[in-house]
Chains A and B, each alone.
Chain A
Amino acid sequence: MNLFLQQVINGLNIGSIYALIAIGYTMVYGIIKLINFAHGEIMMFGAYFAFIAATSFQMPVWAILLLVMTIMAVAGVAIEFVAYRPLRNAPRLSALITAIGVSLFLQNLALIIFKPEPKIMPKLFPEMNFNIGGIDISSTTLITIGVSLVFMVLLDLYIRKTKQGRAMRAVSEDKDAAILMGVNVNRTVSLTFALGSALGALGGILYSVAYIQIYPTMGVMPGLKAFIAAVLGGIGIVPGAMLGGFIIGMVETLTKAYLSTTWADAIVFAILIIVLLFKPTGILGKNTREKV
């Protein structure tokens, strides 16, 4: 039983990271119907910048988080402006391919700048181990889950209670109507990218603290899994991304613990396929029909 609860905690740990990254995917898809393939690279660069801030500048943790999240927020906005905005009205396929291009570009940029050898992320959080009811929990795990939850709650409040948050929801539902209501779509889209990228970067930092190694392609698999989490929960729905993130984290951890490490990824993909075949709008999604 203890082993099981231990795994549940591990699942929550990685699940909260996936949730943070998934939110970025789901917000962008919700607002401009684009799968931002480059989001995994935002996560990766977040980790790298945190590494630099920690090792070269010895900044305190709170400063690192603040700085890196801000930098990546700006980066996200810049990417949208340069690569995605010109294709706002183009067919979805073109935008998707551009996203793939941006992803490849960023990966190779990191490869050139930082070199392929993995960097080791120093311990950002004070190391303490707690034993609660026979289960080992490290302070890192607690902080990861805690910080993630805090930011997720903040984001949820922002979207639900503020004017800009309402604007984001409006543009997601009906862009043209939102324009007629006086919403500045460009600014809203930029804001969406900023928030999503900030959270993605946070996810990257927490991920690298948990998994220690930082390398240029580190964003590919977690990015893909976080995206699957977003789809599972209901693409375009922020609480869905959170829910999906935790579920995928759980499934992955439990599969690795009880079935096999190598098949864990396959099972995550299988979940994706089953969800899309039977309920493509995800757990929290609604059903829609095409008009002829």
Chain B
Amino acid sequence: MSVLSAKNITIQFGGLTAVDQFNLNLERHELVGLIGPNGAGKTTIFNMLTGVYVPTKGEITLNGESIIKKSTHEIVKLGASRTFQNIRLFKDLTAIENVKIAYHNFIDYNLIQGMFRTKKFWTEEKKAQDKCMKLLDIFNMGGYANTLAKNLPYGQQRRLEIARALASEPKVLMLDEPAAGMNPNETAELMETIHFIREKFDITILLIEHDMKLVMGICERIVVVDYGKTIAEGTPDKIKNNPEVIRAYLGD
């Protein structure tokens, strides 16, 4: 069953075509990698899939519903969430507060109930605290719950971003270079974490990465883009030996 599908999406900035007729179909539970040299348009594709940019042409559907005209937060409510290449945490909020923001739509009390602290406020806040704490525990970050995000070590910050992205209970999770800046041990840990969350939360994962060990290690399917166009698609083995792909990365 197709969870996310992009059909011939194209985007132009002024005279430059950044992404040209990109196609992607994510089936439920898949773990797909999106790779390509720098500037190939990968993050731009992410931005289109999450409503940050509106494609000039093409169609995107999430769980069968068209999301092209929808705003980012609506798309998140429909079940897609993402992390960012350069980590976008809420620096002056604690780790658990960061996660609670993404859990926002599941906390059910209104403005008045919040200001007057009715019973609903207390029960819903407790629910949020428990749920978000559990999420942090999965990432072994329970002890950091009340640390300000800006004071967390780099590796923890990356994990927190993923934890936060999971708090909105997405069906599709898009990770933008989750292993950036990690050493081999951390990367191996990340690979396990990604596998684990895919199983535990029953979600579909799309990730952008430059770390080939991670990509080849966990992705079931890989899409390769260069200059905004798909140049190859297939299993890791096929992609490894694809001459087009090699040329894109290493030049002629």
Contacts and interface: CB of A to CB of B under 8 A. Distances in A.
Residues of A in contact with B, size category: under 10
B13 A292 contact: no
A289 B52 CA distance: 12
Residues of B in contact with A, size category: under 10
Interface string B37-59: 00000010001000011000000
Nearest to B14: A289
Nearest to B84: A292
Contacts of A292: 43, 47, 52-53
Contacts of A289: 13
Contacts of B53: 292
Interface string A249-292: 00000000000000000000000000000000000000001001
A291 to B, nearest CB: 10
Interface in B113-150: none
Interface in B1-32: 13
Interface in A150-176: none
A289 B54 CA distance: 13
Nearest to B85: A292
B182 to A, nearest CB: 22
Contacts of B47: 292
A292 B13 CA distance: 13
Nearest to A289: B13
Nearest to B46: A292
A176 B43 CA distance: 26
B53 to A, nearest CB: 8
A144 to B, nearest CB: 43
A119 B43 CA distance: 63
A288 to B, nearest CB: 11
A170 B43 CA distance: 31
Nearest to B86: A292
Nearest to B52: A292
B84 to A, nearest CB: 8
Contacts of B52: 292
Nearest to B88: A292
Interface in A29-44: none
5 contacts: A289-B13, A292-B43, A292-B47, A292-B52, A292-B53
A-B pairs with lowest CB-CB distance, top 5: A292-B52, A292-B47, A292-B43, A289-B13, A292-B53
